[in-house]
Structure 1
Amino acid sequence: MAPLDDEPELRAGLARAGQSHLLRFWPQLEPAERAALAETLRALGAEELGAHCRRAAQTYAREQQEEEEAGGHPEGLAGRLQPVPPEFFGSVARSEPATLERWEEEGLRQISQGKVAVLLLAGGQGTRLGVPYPKGMYDVGLPSRKTLYQLQAERIRRVAQLAGEKFGTSCKVPWYIMTSEFTLGPTEAFFRDHDYFHLAKSDVVLFEQRMLPAVTFDGKAILDGKGKLAMAPDGNGGLYRALADNKILEDMERRGIRYIHVYCVDNILVKMADPVFVGFCVSKGADCGAKVVEKAYPTEPVGVVCSVDGVYQVVEYSEIPSEVAEMRNPDGRLTYSAGNICNHFFTLDFLQTIAEKFEPQLKSHLAIKKVPFVDEVGNRVNPLKPNGIKLEKFVFDVFQFSKNFVAFEVLREEEFSPLKNADPASKDTPTTARRSLLSQHYRWAQKAGARFMDSQGHPIPEIQSLSGDEEPPAVCEISPLVSYFGEDLEQYLNAKEVQSPLLLDESQAEALRQA
């Protein structure tokens, strides 16, 4: 659609799109409000806006009908599912130490050659967490008071240091951060105010995903205000269009990047540019990989990485019939156990192919939401029940286009503890995230030979099999700048008596080393 600079053309375009109601309050708007609304509509394009609204309504109607006919499960799905074959499935827990070391060395080699980048999906708002700012800025209450962004930045610095030391090079890991209209400004300001956590500013690349209008069940774009559409990010699968729109793939190619580790902002235990995962995927010649955790129980509400009719995808837990979810292998493990944690590996070539060829084919998923709106007389209404549709694409829906897909299973207590809900919810809260990290660091310190003492100098009894769900007997936080994943701690902690709480930052580590 050509730019629309005046009201008649604007009205004509919206009329063709079936969205004339969007100018209902035009006469009441100030000039600046008119200009902002016109710019939004211009950016969307009348034709594309109309197609988006029709697609949303049609998708809603189709899924409602399919759900009624199938009783919640796609017909015949049980006979079409297959787990990831063993030859394309790696596992931390079931691999020999020498194999893990080989994969880690390969990953560190690729990092040392400047071929690895990390890409953060950070476009969502912290609505469920109950904060008005991006999740990455959240402080879960660690002794250091570090935010998620700071922990991740320091892990990037440390893994680059490890790779450089091992291969005698100076290297860096570029950090690409996909934001949205809601999170871009605060995230930019946060990084600027914290001096990019001592990463080079040029190596922290922020870009913005698209926003799409929320739509009523009958296909009308929703007004959030008299001169403003209700908009929402296009889901983490909006990544692929955003990569193209913002010329991120060209930037990666210019830097010599070949492999990209993609993850979600809310996992406090995420291993940035995980050398073991990267090395596994590279060793297997994979173009696409998914890091997974073993499902805790058959009905755990987590999507499962598997194939349907020979095509890899994530099948939502609600779509898997109970008899399939409960199937077990001879060793007693669940057959469909690969729980998706939104942690992926892609080659640059694969991402380029998706952006250039397959992105339009990605399925749009429905999110049924309570969307605030203005009524016919201009009063803003906060609905008590869902009234609108938000269309999203999912980052994992590109698995189907992979020519060599692999899955890599990691230990949940070591690598996955998401922050989604506010306290006092039962799971995925600041409390559970903090406990997961402190439990992990306690296990690392214990393995390194530390002996914890209380404030009175009395020994604190050890717990030998501490899980991520338990409060550790001693409080210990280890800076990522000291240890990326528990490595090299013996020089600081072996046979040392340390007082709880212990914050092992660089200065404290050096003091312990010399003690």
Structure 2
Amino acid sequence: MISANTPLSIQTPKPVDATIDAASLTYQQIKERYQAAGQGHLLTFYDDLSDEEQAHLLAQLQTLNVERSNRIHQKATTCPSPMLTNQSVLLAPLPEECFDSTLEASSEKIQEWQTIGLEQISQNKVGVILLAGGQGTRLGSSAPKGCYNIDLPSSKSLFQIQAERILKLQQLASQQEGAQRKVVIPWYIMTSGPTRPATTKFFEEHNYFGLDRENVIFFEQGTLPCMTFDGKIMMESKSQIAVAPDGNGGVYAALRGTGVLANMAERKIEYLHAYCVDNCLVRVADPVFIGYCIQKNADCGAKVVRKKSPDEPVGVVCLRNATFNVVEYSEIDEEVAHRINPKNGQLAFGAGNIANHFYTVDFLNRVESFEGELEYHIARKKIKSLDFATGQVITPKQVNGMKLEMFVFDVFPFTQRMAVFEVDRREEFSPLKNAPGTGQDCPETSRRDILQQHVRFIENAGGKVIVGEDDKQIEGAPTLEISPLVTYSGEGLSDIVAGKSIKTPISIASLEDLKNAVF
């Protein structure tokens, strides 16, 4: 078992040594196995390879579960879409008993949920899973997306903002009566193969942003081979299979296969919060969300935001065939999308999915029992690949293959007790998806949304924000940044700012800074 005290404790299994004698990899057995699976073409150029290249190829083929790959392709391409028949029969709004909203709940109820969550955090029963496998390609960066600087006055990256929220929450939880001597929220960070080295290096260079190194655990999501539409595995060279990450839904197999679940068991963690790295407003290990799900006795939970309009291109959490699911906006017809709940006047299908989830560890351990039933989704792509007729690598101008992936919400139909929690979009959801200057879900909107939130923090605490003459107010937001080390979600400010003013532009890094800034 992996020790909970081992630095960077989850290590990706080492690949087979490429210098190993090819004969020891039982070439004939592998050849027969792949021919039986209809994938014998992968050895077409075997005799042209050097000894080292042959060993490298055989190592891949020996590791790959080719029969599973074939089953996944068959299931993904032959199962009819569940949305092809009458949606009025298939789709239903969320049951009232599993849904609550911070937009409607009383402050007393929200405080009750928060107290439950903080109590569990204070007993070291809560961990965090960060889905951070993506690169910032669309942002014009080759670095992992979490390294991206959205141009806050402090120049903090997404990783640093989230790390500091964990630090602050550990501090808040340690103030709970009966708290553990040292409150720890372990951070399990899922990378992809391409982002792993750069991510770990970034954390090392920044001294883990003040977190204890042994409580920041990296692990890699899995991969699946790229395939042609008729089910043939593709190659990117004569000695290399073409593979792609298996989607954020690959987190479940990765948690098990890399030893993360065993690490959680050793730490006696019972509850997990999972989210995507690109949301700059995410409340990491949110005690309100965790407390709500625990009070509901949920084994799986989803945080959602209210859709802006029926046509907003966002997936919706609802019932499909009487089970919980996320239905993509493109799969919902106009009549269903516009349907109104007569009890509250809101959209009946308005629970916008933001990939922000709660799990019990028991549920994560149970995923293996139904993993074979999970959906795989086809992403049709232009894939650079080997032409088996000529032996040349071609860069296609048109779509020529598919990448198969799972989505993190594909487990929802298998939950026994689901909880759906609606939160205020402007306080908790601002995704970073697009290049600078696009005006939507881009670095400028992320920066604006954080700064505007920090203005609200001051105003809600009874203070007044005065915009200075030299404040450029980029994107219309006064330049007021408050470090997560000062406040997690606006708490602890009123004693300092109530009845006082603060002038922008200003960046507050500590409570002392705040005390010196008000007048």
TM-score normalised according to structure 2 size: 0.89
Question: Per-residue deviation at 1:159?
Answer: 0.8
Give the letter aligned to residue 283 of structure 1.
Q
Q: Distance in 1 between matches of 2:414 and 2:425?
A: 27
Match of residue 246 from structure 1 = 258
Deviations 1:217-237 (A, max 9, x none): 111111112321211111111
Give the letter aligned to residue 451 of structure 2.
L
Contact 1:115 1:259 in 2 (8 A): yes
Q: 2:432 aligns with which of 403, 419, 441?
A: 419
Match of residue 43 from structure 2 = 23
| 2:137 aligned counterpart, secondary structure | coil
Matches within 5 A, 1:427-446: 427-446=440-459
| 1:216 aligned counterpart, secondary structure | coil
Matched, 1:280 2:284: no
Question: Per-residue deviation at 1:269?
Answer: 0.7
Q: Distance in 2 between matches of 1:256 and 1:58?
A: 37
Change (3 A) 1:451 1:419: closer
Give the letter aligned to residue 187 of structure 1.
T
Change (3 A) 1:142 1:171: same
Give the letter aligned to residue 104 of structure 2.
R
Q: Distance in 1 between matches of 2:170 and 2:353?
A: 27
Match of residue 242 from structure 2 = 230
Contact 1:455 1:499 in 2 (8 A): no
Match of residue 467 from structure 1 = none
Matches within 5 A, 1:292-441: 292-330=304-342, 331-355=344-368, 357-376=369-388, 377-441=390-454
- Aligned-residue Cα RMSD (Å) equals 2.4
Matched, 1:13 2:30: no
Contact 2:436 2:443 in 1 (8 A): yes
Q: Distance in 1 between matches of 2:106 and 2:511?
A: 35
Question: Per-residue deviation at 1:26?
Answer: 2.9
Q: Distance in 2 between matches of 1:4 and 1:423?
A: 52
Deviations 1:219-259 (A, max 9, x none): 11111123212111111111111121122212112111111
Give the letter aligned to residue 163 of structure 2.
A
Matched, 1:90 2:105: no
Question: Per-residue deviation at 1:513?
Answer: 7.4
Q: 1:105 aligns with which of 115, 118, 134?
A: 115
Deviations 1:153-173 (A, max 9, x none): 110111111111133633110
Deviations 1:397-433 (A, max 9, x none): 2112222111000011111111122123342211221
Contact 1:80 1:309 in 2 (8 A): yes
Deviations 1:413-470 (A, max 9, x none): 11111112212334221122112111211221233303324146x9x99xxxxxxxx9
Q: Distance in 1 between matches of 2:188 and 2:336?
A: 38
| 2:61 aligned counterpart, secondary structure | helix
Contact 1:53 1:215 in 2 (8 A): no
Deviations 1:162-205 (A, max 9, x none): 11113363311011111221222221111122111111111111
Matched, 1:483 2:515: no
Give the letter aligned to residue 73 of structure 2.
A
Give the letter aligned to residue 191 of structure 1.
F
Counting aligned pairs with the same residue, the percent is 45
Match of residue 141 from structure 1 = 151
Give the letter aligned to residue 251 of structure 1.
N
| 1:215 aligned counterpart, secondary structure | coil
Question: Per-residue deviation at 1:118?
Answer: 0.6
Q: Distance in 1 between matches of 2:503 and 2:413?
A: 52
Q: Distance in 1 between matches of 2:511 and 2:94?
A: 46
Matched, 1:450 2:467: no
Q: Distance in 2 between matches of 1:413 and 1:447?
A: 15
Deviations 1:107-137 (A, max 9, x none): 1111001111111112233333332221111
Match of residue 475 from structure 2 = 471
Question: Per-residue deviation at 1:394?
Answer: 1.5
| 2:53 aligned counterpart, secondary structure | helix
Contact 1:441 1:478 in 2 (8 A): yes
Match of residue 66 from structure 2 = 49
Q: Distance in 1 between matches of 2:43 and 2:139?
A: 35
| 2:69 aligned counterpart, secondary structure | helix
Match of residue 151 from structure 1 = 161
| 1:241 aligned counterpart, secondary structure | helix
Contact 1:453 1:497 in 2 (8 A): no
Q: Distance in 2 between matches of 1:4 and 1:91?
A: 60
Question: Per-residue deviation at 1:22?
Answer: 2.0
Question: Per-residue deviation at 1:93?
Answer: 0.5
Change (3 A) 1:130 1:41: farther
Q: Distance in 1 between matches of 2:155 and 2:46?
A: 48
Deviations 1:458-513 (A, max 9, x none): 9x99xxxxxxxx93441111110001011112244334443322111116535527
Give the letter aligned to residue 147 of structure 1.
S
Q: Distance in 2 between matches of 1:183 and 1:370?
A: 21
Deviations 1:322-349 (A, max 9, x none): 1111001223210111111110111111
Q: 1:501 aligns with which of 496, 499, 505?
A: 505
Q: Distance in 2 between matches of 1:380 and 1:129?
A: 28
Q: 1:269 aligns with which of 243, 266, 281?
A: 281
Q: Which runs of 5+ in 1 are unaligned?
A: 462-469
Question: Per-residue deviation at 1:27?
Answer: 3.7
Q: Distance in 1 between matches of 2:348 and 2:377?
A: 27
Contact 1:19 1:50 in 2 (8 A): no
Contact 1:224 1:373 in 2 (8 A): yes
Question: Per-residue deviation at 1:359?
Answer: 1.6
Question: Per-residue deviation at 1:380?
Answer: 3.0
Change (3 A) 1:382 1:57: farther
Give the letter aligned to residue 486 of structure 1.
G
Q: Distance in 1 between matches of 2:502 and 2:47?
A: 70
Contact 2:465 2:504 in 1 (8 A): no
Match of residue 5 from structure 2 = none
Contact 2:378 2:405 in 1 (8 A): yes
Change (3 A) 1:29 1:204: same
Question: Per-residue deviation at 1:297?
Answer: 0.7
Contact 2:497 2:518 in 1 (8 A): no
Deviations 1:1-57 (A, max 9, x none): xx961543443332222222223333443433333222222211xxx3244146425
| 2:175 aligned counterpart, secondary structure | helix
The farther-off stretch of 482-491 and 141-150 is: 482-491
- Equivalent pairs counted in the alignment come to 493
| 1:339 aligned counterpart, secondary structure | strand
Change (3 A) 1:161 1:348: same
